[in-house]
Chains A and B, each alone.
Chain A
Amino acid sequence: MSAHTYATLVDLAAGALLLSAVLVVWRRDLQATARLLAVQGAALGAIPILSGIRRGDVQLAVVGVAVVALRAVVFPKLIAVRLRGELAHEREGAPLVNTTASLLVTATLVIVAYALSRPLVRLDASPAARAAPVGYALVLIGVFLLVTRRKALSQVVAFLVLDNGIDAVAFLATLGVPVVVELGASLDVLLAVVILGVLAGRMHAKFGGTDLDELRELRE
């Protein structure tokens, strides 16, 4: 693979990451966001695979495959399972901010992310490092989603976007972390998603809905 092809493909993957995140902000339907998450996971996994092929690093490619399996298949599947029994109004993300404002804020956050990650880009001129701000943007968008979504499952989605962002920074800026660390982090996220899913189910059973506003009553 030539350097030019590699740079193009990495940029393409990073673009897919960012676009899928923006689309998650745009769409309200949770089933659609689950599909978008699958796309995002595939794009994220593509980065270490591409780097692995370019450098002939098998380990990195294997990590990429594992990432794809986990983030493009397992997580969306878990969310879809959780959604299957829900009523229509439960499948909505129920944002606190309307879509237009959300998209404007997302645009601002992407700019902020590029501004914040300037020192990181300056360290290394490789095409991957130049795309690192996308990871930052994903983190910020994930936090924004956490702040503005009311339903428990949309919080899970937001959390996954955030985590994808962290992983993206790791892959883009440092050519991947050691397998053990990546494995540990991924298992942590898996556990968190399972627990959040169970919690959402319990909330549903207890309050008849997964609206986080119901939790306000639990305050002391």
Chain B
Amino acid sequence: MTGVAHGDVARPVGPAPPADGDSPATGAPDGRAERAPGAVAIAGVTTTALGAAGAATGVVAVVRGIGPIHVGSLGPLAGVTLAAGATGGAFMVVVGLVAAAAGVYGIGYGRHGRSSPLQLAAVPAFVATMLLVPLAGSVSTFLATWELMAVASLVAILADHDRPAVRDAARWYAVMTHLGFAAVLVGLVVLAASGRADGLVALTSRAASASSASRDAVFVLTFVGFGAKAGLVPLHVWLPRAHPEAPSPVSALMSAAMVAMGVYGIVRIDIEVLGPGPRWWAIVLVATGAASALYGVLQSSVSTDLKRLLAYSTTENMGLVTLALGAAMLLAGYGERSLATIALTAALLHVVAHAAFKSLAFMAAGSVLFATGLRDLDLLGGLARRMPATTGAFSVAALGAAGLPLGAGFVSEWLLVQSLIHSRPSSGTLLALVMPVAVGVVALTTGLGVAAMTKAFGIGFLARPRSTAAFDARESPAAMLAPMAVVAAACTVLAVAPGVLAPGLRRVLLDTGSSFGAPPHLGLLLRLPGIAGSISPGLIAVAVAVAAAALALVAAVARAGRSRRPADRRAALWAGGGGPLTARMQYTATSFAEPLQRVFDDVLRPDVDVEVSHVEESRYLVDRVRYRSRIVDVVEARCYRPVLGAVATWASWVRRAHNGSVNRYLAFGALAVIVVIAVAR
């Protein structure tokens, strides 16, 4: 080996970047006119302004609530009622801040975009509808805004509708989100009917008197609908398709803000309005959350597509949030008020943290896509030198997603684990059974999450580039880097000083129900009420900073000392005939995940294919080895494919009746007329 251990020796002769990927980088390759930058800028500025206004409204809602404003003329029959308490306000702040960052980011990202005015308008419309969901004060308004949000997001996903993958993703999303909407619709209508009211505040006091059967039905239906929006297993199948295929600002909005709306629905309807329920509700939440967390993190740790990896990580994090909500309900049911409060705090904090680090991660992934046109980790690498700012941003995001100290997700996950391990086994058999399992799930999830994020960061950004596109990467424009820097700063604040959220959290917890007690103390030292446990992320940060500074000092001193030695003589080292280090010698995303894939073989069921071709003269000499591994979503293959197949068979039978003959269609009509006349007489 020659003396240069790092750095790029030669331009790799890797595979050319594939033409797909929502590649905004290279202008208008198919000859369509470029969109004037003005339109993109207007869309971006509108999005940011909407986001900022929404966040400000959210702060007002958290501080003193927004009283019910009824506008009868806006909607038929019931009109529109706007009202928001602290819970809605908190979610508005989250959505608004993500939208503000995504708006500015979109200006840089879409500069060479090919979007039509409709698609450009879809993003601000999507943000506006998302901000209206927490503002909805009545069942009818909630349903209307919920559906508007689904439609606007669908249009936003379809920005690149020329590619079949995008259309496929949009189809899955449209079907899943509308099935979810149907469930929410029926659930909330049953709720409104049994409570004989439309306003959510009025329903909160009346829902308790409804019959237990109707309450159970409302819970199941709304949880199915909100779970589909939050991407919980087994209704997550749209998420790993739609999030990667959407343009990156939309991915950030969907993954950071829209899935949080699913959590908002669970908190607002299932916990606040329906109030304390039977124990099995909590068990359903815990079980679904645990399954989602484990399944999401497993898929995320084996996927090689950067945005798909992040999308599965969204399922994982929403699973953790749901698990925390379920644990809070369960603990509250057993009278463990302080522990329930900690779990609920963990859930809310994790929503905020997830919004921060996941929007940052998607923006960084979009920056990589912008620079290289690649999402495949196997073809990336070596970006740390070429795109230092993006790499820095992604490292902050990955640290947050991994749940390690100094990462945005750490505090909430720590709180969650604390609430789970401190429950007294004497409180009840169920609690004693569920909590240890939940702790195990959270621990396994966090561990695998570290692996997944290490892979995403290490394989994608460090080492050497594995393709010419990655080799030629250039840093993205400032309009994309600036919002990333701001969100990265927000992530750091969340990780080091979560205390900034304490006043808002206190109000949300007061809003959420009487079964929860005082929130944990989130100062410099995190202290938990009623139990012995404390941690200080701020002090950890100081310690790490001091240690890093000391190490840097030592290294500098050592280097200074070394410079007095005679100059190194550099010569080629014996390298087994292999020559200098090449990009092919390093880990790829596939090889990094291979051990995990082996361990979880039974769950993932990968489709692995090793093809060895020999040199013609001798079977002992290998010409090339080709390794292919494809992982399909098991849930999709086992639960969805049979249903889809049955529907397709049935449809093909029906299609035989529709052969395009006008005469035949008229005959159907005639038959129908005769039947109607015969029945109506």
Contact = CB atoms under 8 A, between A and B. Distances in A.
B659 A216 contact: yes
A129 to B, nearest CB: 15
B661 A146 contact: no
A116 B660 contact: no
A119 B681 contact: yes
Interface residues of B, number: 16
Contacts of A119: 681
Given A212-B662, A212-B663, A216-B659, A147 B674 contact: no
Contacts of B664: 147
Contact of B667 (A118, A147, A213, A215): A147
Nearest to A140: B674
Consensus secondary structure, chain B interface: helix
Contacts of A212: 661-663
A216 B677 contact: no
Contacts of A150: 663
Contact of A146 (B658, B660, B666): B666
A191 interface: no
A146 B659 contact: no
Q: Is the interface on chain A under 10, 10 to 19, 20 to 34, or 35 or more residues? A: 20 to 34
B671 to A, nearest CB: 9
Contacts of B658: 219
Interface in A128-155: 140, 143-144, 146-150
A143 B659 contact: no
A181 to B, nearest CB: 21
A147 B681 contact: no
A109 to B, nearest CB: 9
Contacts of A215: 660, 662
Contacts of A146: 663, 666, 670
A121 to B, nearest CB: 11
B680 to A, nearest CB: 9
A116 B670 contact: no
Interface string B641-676: 000000000000000001111111011011001100
A215 B661 CA distance: 7
A143 B322 CA distance: 59
A216 B661 CA distance: 6
Contacts of B77: none
A195 interface: no
Nearest to A109: B674
Given A143-B673, A146-B670, A147-B670, A116 B662 contact: no
B663 A116 contact: no
B558 interface: no
A202 to B, nearest CB: 15
A112 interface: yes
A3 interface: no
B670 A143 contact: yes
B679 to A, nearest CB: 11
Interface string B217-249: 000000000000000000000000000000000
Given A213-B661, A218-B660, A116 B677 contact: yes
Query: Which of A143, A215, A217 has most chain B Cβ within 10 Å?
Result: A143
A147 B663 CA distance: 5
B273 to A, nearest CB: 45
A216 B662 CA distance: 8
Nearest to A143: B670
A119 B660 CA distance: 37
Contacts of A219: 658-660
Interface in A80-94: none
B571 interface: no
B670 A216 contact: no
Contact of B666 (A140, A143, A216): A143
Nearest to A152: B662
Nearest to B662: A212
Nearest to A142: B670
B677 A147 contact: no
A147 B666 contact: yes
A116 B666 contact: no
Interface in A170-198: none
B668 to A, nearest CB: 9
A84 to B, nearest CB: 25
Nearest to B659: A216
B669 A143 contact: yes
Given A146-B666, A149-B663, 7 more contacts: A116-B677, A143-B666, A143-B669, A147-B670, A212-B661, A217-B660, A219-B659
19 contacts: A96-B663, A116-B674, A116-B677, A118-B681, A119-B681, A140-B674, A143-B666, A143-B669, A143-B673, A144-B670, A146-B663, A146-B666, A146-B670, A147-B663, A147-B670, A149-B663, A216-B661, A217-B660, A219-B659
- The 7 A-B pairs at the shortest CB distance, nearest first, are namely A219-B660, A216-B660, A143-B670, A147-B667, A212-B662, A146-B666, A147-B666
